Amino acid sequence: MNTTTLRYDDVQEGDELPPLDVHLSRTLIVATAIASRDYQDVHHDPELARQRGSKDIFMNILSTNGFVGRFITDWAGPDATLRKVSIRLGAPNYPDDTMRMTGKVTRKQDGVVEVAVRGANSAGDHVTGTVELTLP
């Protein structure tokens, strides 16, 4: 975790963010669904998830969005402000896998930094998108 905030002048287009590996335990998937008040059975009941066509429980989008935010703020620091998060889900995040978060600065203009983000697991891209943020 970064305890100092990056400065706008320190960031350049093309900069790569340090990767973040998130171990996808069953507990993490269930706990983050409950924490976001998402009680859909596909996020906590393996048998019902399978009855609905999934191989197991899977992470909800609110949890994924939270990990995207964490990934950016771990890099940028506590004084960064997320202005816009635009993500698309792909392959599910199932238990006993790892999601590797990666990112690259794609635009720096008028005080705004844009980062392309990707979170991939063994099945492929779980999340892709962009985050716009401001830095002091």
> Is the per-residue pLDDT at 51 higher than 90?
yes
Quote the pLDDT of residue 69. 98
* pLDDT per position as a tens digit, 62-114: 999 999 999 999 999 999 999 999 999 999 999 999 999 999 999 999 999 99
Q: What's the pLDDT band for 1 if we cut at 50, 70, 90?
A: low
Q: Which amino acid is at 51?
A: Q
φ, ψ of residue 124 to 5 degrees: the values are 130, -155
- Answer for the pair 60, 32: CB distance below 8 angstroms, yes or no: yes
Instruction: Say if residue 23's pLDDT is above 80.
Output: yes
Q: What domains are there in the chain, each with its CATH number?
A: 8-134 (3.10.129.10)
Task: Tell me what pLDDT residue 128 has.
Answer: 98
Q: Confirm whether pTM is higher than 0.85.
A: yes
